[in-house]
Structures are given as C-alpha cells and as structure tokens.
Structure 1
Amino acid sequence: MTTSTHPVPPADPADAGPPVRDVPADVVRKALATRSYAVLATVSPAGRPHAAGVLYTTVGDDLWVSTETASRKGRNLVASPHVAVTVPVRRLPLGPPATIHFQGRAEVLAVDDPEVRRLVGMGELKGITSHGELDLPGGCMIRITPAATVHTYGVGMSLWSFVRNPLAAAGRATFRP
C-alpha cells in the first residue's frame, strides 16, 4: 500500500462556511455564571494534552477552580498557564448541549493567597470551597482568565433556530476589546 502526501492548499475564504454570529457578551457571562461544570484542558511539559471535568464558580469574567497542586492539572498548570475550557449549556434533556468554549490563561494560587482569602471572605468562592477544599493538604485555587474572544455553539439563539439550523449555531462574544 502506498500513500502520497499532498500539500494542503491555503484556506479559501469562500470555503469558510456560514458566518459566525456575534453573541452579546452579557448573554455568555450569564450562561457561565449559572453553570458550574466545565471541561478544563491543560498540556504537560512533554506536550501531552489532558482534559478533566471540574466544578467552577465565576468572579467577574474569571472562572475559579479548586484542585491539588500534585494533581495532573495542577502540575501541568505550573509548567504552562495555557488552557482551553468547554462549558456545556444544556437547554433540553435530550440532544447535544450548546457550549461555551475558549482558550485562556490560568494562574495557580495557594489557598492562603490574599486574593483567595479576600474572595472567600466575601463569599465569592462558596461554590468551590464548601466541602473542605480550603483545608486539603496541597490544595490550591486556579484562576482562569478567558481570552478576549469567547466562542459559543447554540448560545444566544432560540432553541427552535438551534434545532432547525445547527450549522449556523457558531457564535462569538468579545469580553475585552
């Protein structure tokens, strides 16, 4: 069996597919704030990807996650702060959920970091600290700051439009200019 390699032609703008809808940032922020589960993807120093389900809470535009510094995601984030996040946004009990997905930057903070303590004192991290996470040996907090552009699929459109035309469901919101 022989295989041949063909150079990949440059992308033709005419082949780009349907245009991406602009979604109001407030719609995306509200969807993020009313959810608590995401898939967090990190990369190891050897370049191996790792994805894990996490519980999160939002403070402003940032997502906060509790983990342990010795966990795979904790070790990966110390080596590289670059992450990708996907948040499912279920609107029906059947069928695939809509999603919010973005790349971002993560910062690992000790549980006694002044910023963590301030947010805990204000009750902002209650959703990820109510099960003893602050008392875990080796526990830490991860602050994830999304890139300026956050991508969506099916968010910010009617359910009827989403079901009838899923190929037009891609969207984006701008969090920062």
Structure 2
Amino acid sequence: MTSTDPRTQQDLRYGDPAAPPTDWAVARRALAEAELYWLSTVRPDGRPHVTPLVAVLLDGALHLCTGSHERKARNLTQNREVVLTTGSNSWASGLDLVVEGTAEQVTDNARLRRIADAYEQKYGSDWRFEVGDGAFRSSGESEALVFAVPLRTVFGFGKDPHSQTRWRF
C-alpha cells in the first residue's frame, strides 16, 4: 500500500447527510478481498468495453492479467486510462468501489513473481502462474500480460446508510 493515507472527501449531495465518510481502511480491505472486479477500457473507435476479471491489490495498485490477444489488452495499447469496479448488487447493504487509474504494463520478472504469488494466495492453485520473459505463463496457454493500476482516485458508495466518499492518492 502507499506510504501515505489518501485525502478523504465526502460528497454530502449523495446520500444521507448524517452518514460519516467511509474509513479508508474499510474500503481498502473491501478492495483487497473482492473476488470479482469489472474492468472498463476504451476501444480504439471510442466505444466502451467492460469485462469481469480477477485482480489483486499489492503495493498500492490493483494488478490484472489478460491474454495479449484479448480485447482488453488491445484496448490498453491505445488508451491506458481504466476504471475498475467491485461491490455488491444490493441496494441496501454493502460498499461499492470505483477505482480510476492508468494501467501500466509490468514486465520485471521479480515483480511479476510477487504478483503471481499474490494471485495464488488469494485465488488458489487454479491461478498459479509461471513467470518468464516479462509475462505470466501457464501450461498449455499463451502468455498473459500483467498490468498494474496504481490507485489514483477511488470512490466508495456506502449503502447502510447511503454515502459517497472519494479518496485521492
């Protein structure tokens, strides 16, 4: 995680004015423990592309991987600005999180090894990756590119009571 706490701002226009801002430690834990995230990228022609994926929070960034031939990888070669979302589909409980950032491809094998270990620790042996030549590798499949999305701005939408909190890094 980053060495400094983010600046926290609550927008009282959205939600219960008596609701306190969500504590960053609560939001960070929810971001780290989420099983599924939705990645939004932009196609070269400007149309949006959204896809579910798994990711890990490590060193102040969400890390994701994708095959080099997949739409999201191709989109990221043209436009690195992304949004990752996670939360619940409930209106009255939970915390929804929206992460805005710039995806950076990770190619350093030592860093990739740490990210691969984090995937396996979080998701189990089905998500075991070998590391080589600046990418993830798995038996019988092509390489997977790895991207880090350093936390720049995160929005939290509390639901019990409703609130909106923004963290800037």
Is TM-score (shorter-chain normalized) higher than 0.5? yes
Q: Classify 1:59/1:107 alpha carbon distance in 2 versus 1 (closer, same or farther; 3 Å).
A: same
Deviations 1:110-141 (A, max 9, x none): 5x733202443xx2231368335532313211
Q: State the AA in 2 paired with 1:151.
A: F
Q: State the AA in 2 paired with 1:173.
A: W
- 1:41-120 equivalences under 5 Å are 41-89=40-88, 98-110=95-107, 113-120=109-116
Give structure 1 stretches of 5+ with no counterpart. 1-15
Q: Which has the larger radius of gyration?
A: 1
Give structure 2 stretches of 5+ with no counterpart. 1-12, 130-136
Structure 2 equivalent of residue 130 of structure 1: 125
Q: State the AA in 2 paired with 1:51.
A: V
Structure 2 equivalent of residue 152 of structure 1: 156
Q: Which has the higher contact order (CA 8 A, sep 6+)?
A: 2
Please give the alpha-carbon distance, in whole angstroms, between the structure 1 residues aligned to 2:29 and 2:150. 16
Please give the alpha-carbon distance, in whole angstroms, between the structure 2 residues aligned to 1:56 and 1:152. 18
Q: Secondary structure of 1:137's match?
A: coil
Q: Secondary structure of 1:31's match?
A: helix
Indicate whether 1:172 and 2:166 are aligned: yes
1:82/1:104 contact within 8 Å kept: yes
1:65/1:128 contact within 8 Å kept: no
Structure 1 equivalent of residue 4 of structure 2: none
Please give the alpha-carbon distance, in whole angstroms, between the structure 2 residues aligned to 1:31 and 1:114. 27
Please give the alpha-carbon distance, in whole angstroms, between the structure 1 residues aligned to 2:67 and 2:124. 13
Q: CA RMSD in A?
A: 2.8
Q: Secondary structure of 1:154's match?
A: strand
Q: State the AA in 1 paired with 2:147.
A: I
Q: Classify 1:17/1:62 alpha carbon distance in 2 versus 1 (closer, same or farther; 3 Å).
A: closer
Indicate whether 1:142 and 2:147 are aligned: yes
Q: Classify 1:63/1:22 alpha carbon distance in 2 versus 1 (closer, same or farther; 3 Å).
A: same
Q: Secondary structure of 2:118's match?
A: coil
2:63/2:115 contact within 8 Å kept: no
Structure 1 equivalent of residue 9 of structure 2: none
Report how many residues are paired.
144
